[in-house]
A and B are shown apart, each in its own frame.
Chain A
Amino acid sequence: MRFIKSLAGAAASATLLAAPMTLAETITIATVNNGDMIRMQGLTAEFNALHPDIEVNWVTLEENVLRQRVTTDVATQGGQYDVMTIGTYEVPIWAAQGWLVALDDLPADYDIDDLLPSIRDGLTVDGKLYAAPFYGESSMVMYRTDLFEAAGLEMPAAPSWDFINEAARKLTDKDGEIYGICLRGKAGWGENIAFLTATANSYGARWFDEEWKPQFDSDAWKQTLTMYIDLMQEAGPPGSASNGFNENLALFQTGKCAMWIDATVAASFVTNPKDSQVADKVGFALAPDNGLGKRGNWLWAWSLGIPAGTDSEEAAKKFVAWATSKAYLELVADKEGWANVPPGTRASLYANPEYQKVPFAQMTLDSISSADPKNPTVDPVPYVGVQFVAIPEFQGIATAIGQQFSAALAGQITAEQALQNAQVLAEREMRRAGYPK
């Protein structure tokens, strides 16, 4: 009987065609299938307890699919979503296009000044906040304290690339399926390019010079890529050319990596005994440097933005304010413990004595505070962004270059060839886009 009813209901709503449902306020939220977002989805009932009149629909997608879907939708004003999960790369560009609703009337208890300055800066255009940070991250070194001890090594609080290289090779035991280091190799501007661009910064490389001329033919890039490929071939896991954040997380959680340099947000997953077999054996250190004054750590914040032209702006704002509020942090802490709250957005969280007990709290805050998107490289650059370049053309160029670097890691081409191709690709696209502007 229930089946028949649903069938009739479905048929009825199908015949309603595209008529927007204006009776009850419904918002559709597009988000990434990351752990913190899935938890947020699980807490929808708590939001509805406060706002029973707002119905929430979730569209949870894998990152690449999500990005393509929301970008297509916002750029064509498709209006399929009321809240979109986007990052610090998209927000300034989209805000400048007028695609996002400014969040300038958040409730007083939201305490906007509590947001970490570097994160807030990245989401602010002309003094207005255009997306609310859900969680913020930098990158750092996560390592296995037990393996380091067994090998007689000690991880400095602020390691150099030389140390990382040496330790990784020493710790590798391929027969025992322990790999010295796991790094991103999967092609994508949010995957290997994020890691390699941040690393290149610490080697003194940059994407463009002040005239927007691509710099992949520089010596610093060659050093970066050669170091990375040699290191991964000698001390990395097999198939690293297709490992992204999630694949490496699984490897680290199952005890296959001695070190992993990646997003600070991973700290709570690798120390969670429910998912991680190495939960009590993880230490943290700052991302490595090369003695040039810049560390290879990035800055990112997954944030909730509201596309301009949504027909449920007020409801969407209520949701965004709720999901990024102090109260939400407390709610998660209450249900899952402090270690599992979405990190890296609020100063008050790091001032909380309860949260300070979490082993990775201080290292996360230090990493986030030390990233400087306005001043990311050793030599001056015309762009903003640590692991990305905040221009619309970046996605396309970086996607293609990410493929080249991934091919080099897979051993299909040499590092030199990959950089040559990268240079050609970047020059081509920049010429097409009409730079220098």
Chain B
Amino acid sequence: MATQHSRAAARLMISPAVILLLAWMLIPLGLTIYFSVLRYNLLMPGDNPFVGLENYEFFFTDPAFTGAVWNTVMLVVGVLIITVVGGTMLALLLNQPMFGQGIVRILVIAPFFVMPTVSALVWKNMFMNPVNGLFAHLAKGLGFEAFDFLSTVPLLSIILIVSWQWLPFATLILLTAFQSLDSEQLEAAEMDGATGVARFWYIMLPHLARAITVVILIQTIFLLSIFAEILVTTSGGPGTASTNLTYLIYAQSLLQFDVGLGSAGGVFAIILANIVAIFLMRMIGKNLDL
């Protein structure tokens, strides 16, 4: 039905957004690619000579590189699993009749509003600190030795903190999905003698597929570049046990001020992000009829 005229108008309306995002992508990307072939250290000003792929060589042979890729994946997958599974169960629970449902929902949604820096500072100091933290007090009160979360299981600790922040998001989307579920269908299944598990598996879960897809998509976007939580809690350590790609690039470009090396890492991270984007797009295409 669209006329030539309205198609032109549509293009006109979409163009500011496209042009701006294109500029936001291409200008820094261009500069990043350019810097990545220079020897460019902020602390050593000079003529920044062209060095070809030397920065890439150093980036890929960095002892922390493989671990950083692995940690990036673990962080994204770990948080996704916790929030999707936990969110589904929590949504199922919140969907039941109860007293004070509105207040419970307010309590559950709260972590989503907390600044990541604040939440990391609070968890690190007031909960996970092995001497003065609440968990340490609790353990000692029960007669156990205090557990040092951030040095013993740094990545898991960060996954837990980040999951706490994102659980509300997953829960709310899934809860809305549950609420739109056709109750007659469920009742029919119940009459036919389907067990609770069967009802969940064959009726609820397929219905949630779209919602879960959206949760995964949105969270992956944010989780790929998790940074503040790592910087505040472990600074990527001990060793490089909790260094993800973003943090590795940060360490190279802003702790060592090696902009060339950091840029090479940036280019790699951009390529990785695009691979993930393509992968997600496939998935979305299946589950979300855009």
- Any chain B CB within 8 A of the CB of A250? yes
Q: Does A238 contact B (CB under 8 A)?
A: yes
Q: A139: which B residues are within 8 A, CB to CB?
A: none
Cβ-defined contact, B131 with A71, below 8 A: no
Q: Does B30 belong to the interface (CB within 8 Å)?
A: no
B42 near A237: Cβ-Cβ < 8 Å: no
A172 within 8 A of B: no
Answer whether residue A310 sits at the interface, using C-beta atoms and an 8 A cutoff: no
Q: How many A-B residue pairs have CB under 8 A?
A: 96
Chain B residue, CB-CB nearest to A429: B256
Q: Which residues of A contact B136 (CB under 8 A)?
A: 238
SS class, residues of chain B in contact with chain A? loop
Binds B, one of A20-28, A79-87, A333-341, A404-412: A404-412
Q: Is B257 an interface residue (CB 8 A)?
A: yes
Residues of B within 8 A of A93 (CB): 43
Given contacts A241-B151, A399-B255, A410-B151, contact A392 B41 (CB under 8 A): yes
- Beyond A241-B151, A396-B255, A410-B152, is A72–B131 a contact (Cβ under 8 Å)? no
Count class of interface residues, chain B: 20 to 34
The reply to whether A238 and B237 contact each other, CB–CB distance below 8 Å, is no
Residues in A neighbouring B241, C-beta threshold 8 A:
407, 412
Within 8 A of A (CB), among B50-67: 58, 63-64
**7 pairs, CB–CB < 8 Å, chain A vs chain B:** A71-B42, A238-B146, A251-B131, A403-B239, A407-B237, A412-B239, A413-B239
**Closest residue on chain B to residue A238 by CB atoms:** B130
**B255 near A395: Cβ-Cβ < 8 Å:** yes
| Mask of A68-82 contacts with B, CB within 8 angstroms, 1/0 | 100110011000000
Instruction: Flag if A68 contacts B255 (CB, 8 Å).
Output: yes
Contact surface of A with B, Cβ cutoff 8 Å = 64, 68, 71-72, 75-76, 93, 97, 177, 186-188, 237-239, 241-242, 250-251, 254, 256, 392, 395-396, 399-400, 403-404, 406-407, 409-410, 412-413, 421, 424-425, 428, 432
- B interface list, Cβ under 8 A from A: 41-45, 58, 63-64, 129-132, 136, 145-146, 148, 150-152, 234-241, 251-252, 254-258
Q: Would you call the interface of chain A mostly helix, strand, loop, or mixed? A: helix
Q: If A72-B254, A256-B131, A395-B255 touch, does A403 touch B42 (CB 8 Å cutoff)?
A: no
A77 to nearest B CB, angstroms? 10
B239 touches A399 (CB 8 A): no
Q: Is the CB of A187 within 8 A of B237?
A: yes
Residues of B near A242 (CB, < 8 A) are: 150-151, 234, 238
